[in-house]
Amino acid sequence: AGIYFMVMQFINGPSLKDEFKALRQQGRGFSLKAISRIFLALGSAIDYAHRHRMVHRDLKPGNIMINENGQVLLTDFGITRLLDGTRYTATGAMLGTPAYMSPEQSRGAKVDGRSDIYTLGVILYELVTGKVPFEAPTPVGVLMQHVGQPLPPPRLINATLPRPVEDVIVKALQKSPDDRYQSAGELAQALRDAVGLQPGDTLNKNP
């Protein structure tokens, strides 16, 4: 019998989590334009996955890599589920990272691509405020807040945040999937418009 193996690209660069942590230690953060560029790249990658009927289900800053050329790469599709219900996981247990899970995922309900949209909203919230929207002493407590707790307005934490950007975050983090952006690209476009990023701007330009 042969030996099965998987070949994966080596990414020479930090994760978004590492990059954000380093900036925070310097008393800084990503500029809104830099965040918008990141989300344009993420939107393209996630829409591609959704078109191929895959829901990531574990998006988080640690799974988003930035290579030496500034290119944003999405990794760790280890708990991906096909939209037809096929699992790519070993068990039927609830999977994901509580701080970034959508209300429907937190309930253990059926999810579609709009669950990933909610998670993008959590990541965006964290990048502009420095913290995730819901925190609790236990993972179950966090999940319960995703399901039933009103969203703390981002501008209560970061008063300098432009209101149009807050509006984008609030829409992405609606409890009902029908009330969110319906695609990652739609979210990324709304953020670009709110920030004022020009269509010609690229990831390789400085913030």
Which residue pairs, CB below 8 angstroms and at least 24 apart, start in 96-99? 96/57, 96/58, 97/58, 97/60, 98/139, 98/142, 98/143, 98/146, 99/60, 99/132, 99/134, 99/135, 99/142
Judge whether 58 counts as a catalytic residue. Answer: yes
| Cα–Cα–Cα angle for 100, 105, 111, rounded to 5 degrees | 120
Q: Which residue, 133, 127, 158, 156, is CA-closest to 23?
A: 127
Of the residues 47, 58, 112, 167, only one is catalytic, namely: 58
Residue positions annotated with a catalytic role = 58
